[in-house]
A and B are shown apart, each in its own frame.
Chain A
Amino acid sequence: MRLLNQIPSRAVRPLLIILPFLAVLAMYWIASEIRLAANPQDKILPSPATIISTAERLMTEGDRRTGRILFWYDTAISLQRLAIGVGLASLTGLIFGLLIGLIPYARTTLSGFVAFASMVPPLALLPILFIVFGLGEVSKIMLIYIGITPFLVRDLASRTVEIPHEQIVKAQTLGASTGVIALRVALPQLLPRLLQAIRLALGPAWLFLIAAEAIASDLGLGYRIFLVRRYLAMDVILTYVLWITLLAFLLDSILRLLSRRAFPWAGDSL
């Protein structure tokens, strides 16, 4: 039987899925053991046991100065910045994507500009944002916004153009105005694509969030990682990195389930 027709059985599938994770864990464990055997005070590759106990400590013990458990405060404020930035970007992407995709005048005027804007490197704009908006919440949220909005606009505009022209003509023969076509034909079909685009944009959004927090913040997941790097506290860093990965995975899963529930007609996406 050809390799491309061989399908893993239901029993074998879970084993294959965790195999790469186990491999990475094994490699890390071995490397860590080697370093710790040579130098027990080594901080670069803490043993998995150390990481687990550090994680426990971070999640339950309060900060000595303020008594707050910083882990959860960091998480809360990072998620808040992410939510506001991604939320505003989604709204902009939806509105302008729809306009550019549907209305020729808007497409001619805006698509060149949006393409140009998407080429501006967002991280290079960060100092400008700090100067203009100060070092508070606004500049961090603006970085996320500027970073992912051009992608969302272009993606949603091309999805709007993909709506079969037959549907648009059909709506016109039923007497629909441009506004009604936008509202009742194009927009509902764009919403599941929006969720898909947000899922893809979350990766860069996390990146911009952590970069902004690393540079000018006093609270947040990115801030904490870059703070403790000075003490080479790899156990703390790895805990936070794994936690961020878990959060990102949960957000992605939630969006995927939401899309399937709210838009059953859209078909499954990746």
Chain B
Amino acid sequence: MSFVSVRNIFQSYNGQPILERVNLDVAEGEFVSIVGASGCGKSTFLRLLLAEEQPTRGEIRVDGNAPAVEPGPERGVVFQRYSVFPHMSVKQNIVAGESLSRRWGRYWGAEKRAAEKRAEATLERVGLAHVANAYPAALSGGMQQRLAIAQALTAPAPRAVA
């Protein structure tokens, strides 16, 4: 049973077909690269995977669940730009990876300290520990993307990351 299954996807905008009969199976732990000429529908396909848009026909299932109507925790994403939260420090961004799914979106007290410890460990692994208290605007583009990837991988559920 594949982790991500794309069945018979058709997508068109204003009658203009962009994707036709796209089928794909991705097993757990697998890496997939999508290459193509400019304008061939790569970004469209990613938006469909993310459930930002609904396909004209066909369905996409992650981990056997029903096709999603909106982006949710079974999907992780790192965008080309604006992929981290500019008003939080680097460490707070990682903590937010776990805390945003809570009712009020944050941790308090002992839970908060534990989450910050875990965040510090993550930052060590990706080599951003030395800027833990800086804001993303002070980081280089590459460092921001490293932060975004670390943040996407921090969320608890099993997920597909685009």
Q: Which positions in A face B, CB cutoff 8 Å?
A: 164, 166-167, 169-177, 179-180, 183-185, 188-189, 263-267
List the B residue with the shortest CB-CB distance to A182. B105
Cross-chain contact B105 with A173 (CB below 8 angstroms): no
In the A-B complex, the 3 residue pairs with the closest CB atoms: A175-B101, A180-B105, A164-B82
- Evaluate contact between A264 and B85: CB separation under 8 angstroms: no
Which residue of chain B has its CB nearest to the CB of A185? B85
Q: Does B40 contact A (CB under 8 A)?
A: no
Q: Which residues of B contact A170 (CB under 8 A)?
A: 77, 79, 83-85, 148, 151-152
The A interface is mostly helix, strand or loop, or mixed, namely helix
Pick from A169, A175, A263: contact of B100, CB under 8 Å: A175
Instruction: Report the separation of the CA atoms of residues A265 and B86 in the bound assembly, to the nearest whole angstrom.
Output: 7
**Chain A CB within 8 A of B130 CB:** no
At the interface, is chain B mostly helix, strand, loop or mixed?
Answer: loop
User: Of B52, B70, B84, B96, which is within 8 A of A184 by CB?
Assistant: B96
Which residue in chain A gives the minimum CB-CB distance to B75? Answer: A173
Q: Which residues of B contact A (CB under 8 A)?
A: 50, 52, 70-73, 75-77, 79, 81-88, 96-97, 100-106, 135-137, 148, 151-152, 155-157, 159
| Contact A180 B52, beta carbon cutoff 8 Å | no
| A172 (CB) vs chain B CBs: closest residue | B71
Closest to B74 in A: A173
Distance in angstroms from A193 CB to nearest chain B CB is 11
In the complex, 29 of the A-B residue pairs with CB atoms within 8 angstroms, ordered by the A residue number, are: A166-B81, A167-B83, A169-B50, A170-B77, A170-B83, A170-B85, A170-B148, A171-B85, A171-B100, A172-B70, A172-B72, A173-B50, A173-B72, A173-B75, A173-B77, A173-B152, A174-B96, A174-B100, A174-B101, A175-B100, A175-B155, A175-B157, A176-B101, A180-B103, A180-B104, A183-B104, A184-B105, A189-B86, A265-B136
The answer to whether B100 touches A176, judged by C-beta atoms less than 8 angstroms apart, is yes
Partner of A267, one of B79, B83, B96, B137: B137
Contacts of B155 in A (CB 8 A): 173-175
Taking the closest CB of chain A, its distance from the CB of B141, in whole angstroms, is: 14
A156 CB to nearest B CB, Å? 16
Chain B residues near A266 (CB-CB < 8 A): 87
Bound state CA distance, A190 and B104, in angstroms?
18
Contact (Cβ within 8 A) B100 A184: yes
> How far, in Å, is A86 (CB) from chain B's closest CB?
24
User: What's the nearest-Cβ distance from chain A to residue B89, in Å?
Assistant: 8
- Nearest CB in chain B: distance from A263 CB, A: 8
B72–A175 contact, CB under 8 A?
A: yes
CA distance A265 to B52 in the complex (A): 29
Are B79 and A265 closer than 8 Å at their CB atoms?
no
CA distance A265 to B138 in the complex (A): 9
Contact partner of A173 among B73, B82, B88, B135, CB < 8 A? B73
A185 CA to B79 CA, complexed, in Å = 16
Whether B82 lies near A174 (C-beta < 8 A) is: no
Q: Do residues A166 and B79 form an inter-chain contact, with CB atoms below 8 A?
A: yes
Measured between C-beta atoms, what is the minimum distance from B49 to chain A in Å?
A: 11
Q: Which residues of B contact A185 (CB under 8 A)?
A: 85
Cβ–Cβ contact B106 & A174, under 8 A: no
Q: Are A175 and B135 in contact (CB under 8 A)?
A: no
Minimum CB–CB distance for A270 against chain B, Å: 18
